[in-house]
Chains A and B, each alone.
Chain A
Amino acid sequence: MRVRALIRMTLAGLALAAAAQAQTEGVLAPKSAGALAFAPNGVLLMGDSAGGAVFAYETGDRARAGAGKVEIADLNGKIAALLGTTADQVAVQDMAVNPLSGNVYLSVARGVGAQAAPVLLKADRAGRLTEVSLTATRHTRVSLIDAPAADNARLRQQTITDIGFTDGKVIVAGLSNEEFSSSLRAIAYPFTAASKGAGIEIYHGQHGRYETNSPVRTFLAHTVAGQPEILAAYTCTPLVRIPVRDLQPGAKVKGVTIAELGNRNQPLDIVAYRKGGQDYFLMSNSARGVMKLTAGRLESHAGITAQTEKAGVPFETIADLKDVRQLDRVDDANAVILVASADGSSALRTIGMP
Chain B
Amino acid sequence: MTFARAAALVVLLLLAACSKPDVVFDGAAFEATGWKGPAPAEGWPSVFAVYAGQGADMPPMLGDYERQGSRIVFSPRFRPSPGLRMRAVFRPPGGSPIERTFIQAAAAQVRDAAKVIAIHPASDVLPENQLKLYVEFSKPMTRGVAWEHVRLFDEDGREVARPFVEIDEELWDPEGRRLTVLFDPGRIKRGLGENMESGAPLTVGKTFTLSVKDGWRDADGAPLAATVSKRFKVGPAERRPVTPALWRIETPKPGGRDPLVVHFDRPLDHALLQHVLSVRRAGEALAGSATSADQDRRWVFVPDRPWRAGDHALQADMSLEDLAGNRIGRSFDVDTALDDQPKIYKAFETLPFRIGS
Contacts and interface: CB of A to CB of B under 8 A. Distances in A.
A135 to B, nearest CB: 12
Contacts of B332: 180, 212-213
B333 interface: yes
A212 B143 contact: no
B303 interface: no
A178 B58 CA distance: 42
Interface in B40-63: 51-53, 55, 57-63
A236 B53 contact: no
Given A177-B172, A180-B325, A210-B333, A77 B76 contact: no
Interface residues of B, number: 75
Most buried by B among A117, A128, A178, A235: A178
A271 B3 CA distance: 82
A264 B219 contact: no
Interface string A249-270: 0001000000010111010100
B174 A212 contact: no
A178 B166 contact: no
A211 interface: yes
B10 interface: no
Interface stretch (A2-10, A56-64, A82-90, A272-280): A82-90
A263 B62 contact: no
B142 interface: yes
Contacts of A139: none
B334 to A, nearest CB: 5
Interface residues of A, number: 70
A300 interface: no
B167 A266 contact: yes
A206 B337 CA distance: 12
A351 interface: no
Contacts of A155: 173-175, 178, 271, 274
A206 B191 contact: yes
A209 B173 contact: no
B175 A114 contact: yes
Contacts of A150: 275
Prevailing SS type, chain A contact patch? loop
B59 A180 contact: no
B198 A263 contact: yes
Interface in A185-230: 205-214, 217
Interface stretch (A11-19, A20-28, A156-164): A156-164
B251 interface: no
Interface string B139-175: 0111110000000000000000110011111111111
A109 B193 CA distance: 36
Contacts of B185: 180, 212, 214, 235-236
B53 A77 contact: yes
B265 interface: no
Most buried by A among B80, B142, B178, B217: B142
Contacts of A207: 191-192
A77 B56 CA distance: 12
A248 interface: no
Nearest to A31: B174
Given A210-B335, A236-B186, A83 B62 contact: yes
Given A150-B275, A180-B321, A206 B333 contact: yes
Nearest to B271: A178
Contacts of A110: 78
Contacts of A50: 174
B190 A287 contact: no
B203 interface: no
Given A85-B81, A152-B290, A175-B167, A263 B61 contact: no
B191 A307 contact: yes
Contact of A112 (B144, B173, B174, B269): B144
A117 B171 CA distance: 18
A114 B78 contact: no
A310 B197 CA distance: 12
B272 A129 contact: no
A316 interface: no
B193 A260 contact: yes
Contact of B81 (A86, A153, A178): A86
B191 to A, nearest CB: 4
A303 to B, nearest CB: 15
Given A117-B78, A178-B319, A264-B161, 9 more contacts: A82-B77, A112-B143, A113-B142, A157-B171, A206-B190, A235-B167, A236-B189, A262-B193, A266-B166
24 contacts: A82-B60, A84-B78, A84-B79, A84-B80, A86-B84, A91-B143, A131-B77, A152-B274, A154-B173, A155-B274, A159-B171, A177-B171, A178-B269, A179-B321, A206-B189, A206-B190, A206-B333, A210-B189, A210-B336, A235-B182, A236-B184, A237-B193, A266-B168, A268-B168
